[in-house]
Amino acid sequence: MPLKDLFRNPGRVFSGRPTPRPAPPPEPVKIEFMPGSEPTASLDPWWWLVAGVVVIFVLLITLKSDPYWGMFKFLVDGLWLTIQLTLISFVFILIVGMIGGLGRIANNPVIHFITTLYVEMVRGIPLLVQLIWWYYAAPAVVKDIGRAIHFSAMENYTSSAMFLAIVGLVICYGAYMAEIFRAGIQSVPKGQMEAARSQGMNYFQAMRYIVMPQAFRVVLPPVGNEFIMLIKDTSLVSAVALADITRRGHEYMAAHFNPIETWTMVALMYLILTLVSARIVYWLEKRRKY
């Protein structure tokens, strides 16, 4: 035994006990992911489906330009109108839905009653019926009110198909969005609001900085689903004289008598819009998840 060990452990030397050896280094711990939490690839594989549909679309208008290329040029105006109608309507739908959701959880009985009545009534009427009512009946109601109160601006009111279509979509989808926001806000534990109020925040500050950011994570998937549904439901505005993709498809088919090619092109255009929107929503969900 070395001399330094003799002076370091004299008890072990004279008692005959062996000097303890240093413990071996710990083995590296292997980290395993729980099922469903494995790291995913940076590129969503479902983008390949989008790419496949786009390739089919491009092949149709290039390899069989007659009639698909001429059809695409005829439908492109309706495509831009559909996109504009969807984006403008969705901005106001979010605003109406947030106001309605806050009204549904309000302690004021009058506000709660008004928002609940709005949600229950609007959700019970089909969207197509609402769009037709706003386009045909609402201008007549405005003119009758103008005659009753002798207000010339309302008597001579001229309707705008685009404006009334946006109003119809916002009123209808706003009711569904109000329920989504209500459920998202109520999913946040009440202790979050109580903790924020105990720190000196008022109700609106607590909702803005504490509750709503957490509720947004919950409502993002259903809000994205509503956006995709809105893209498809804009096809109903063709019933109120708006030249969207569906109405332009009707016009082209009536002029050229080729329903298979026309509605195949219309379906592909809607499919590309919805698939791209679904991938963007999924990307947002991944960035905002806990």
242 vs 78, 151, 235, CA distance in Å?
Answer: 9, 29, 9
Whole-number Å distance between alpha carbons of 184 and 181 = 5
Please list the pLDDT of the chain residue by residue as tens digits (290 residues).
555 555 555 555 555 555 556 667 777 666 665 655 555 556 678 899 999 999 999 999 999 888 899 999 999 999 999 999 999 999 999 999 999 999 999 989 999 999 999 999 999 999 999 999 999 999 999 999 998 888 888 888 888 889 999 999 999 999 999 999 999 999 988 888 888 888 888 888 888 888 888 888 889 999 999 999 999 999 999 998 889 999 999 999 999 889 999 999 999 999 999 999 999 999 888 877 64
108 vs 59, 104, 123, CA distance in Å?
Answer: 59, 10, 23
Q: Pseudo-torsion of CA 190, 195, 201, 202, nearest 10°?
A: 30
Q: Using alpha carbons only, give the angle 43, 54, 255 rounded to the nearest 5 degrees.
A: 155
Structure tokens that stand for 76 in this block: 């492109």
Structure tokens that stand for 99 in this block: 């106001």
The predicted pLDDT at position 9 comes to: 54
The predicted pLDDT at position 65 comes to: 86
Contact 75, 269 (CB under 8 A): yes
Structure tokens that stand for 51 in this block: 């790419």
Continuous H helices in the chain: 3-8, 10-15, 47-63, 65-104, 109-122, 127-132, 138-149, 152-155, 161-187, 190-198, 203-206, 212-233, 245-256, 259-288
The predicted pLDDT at position 10 comes to: 55
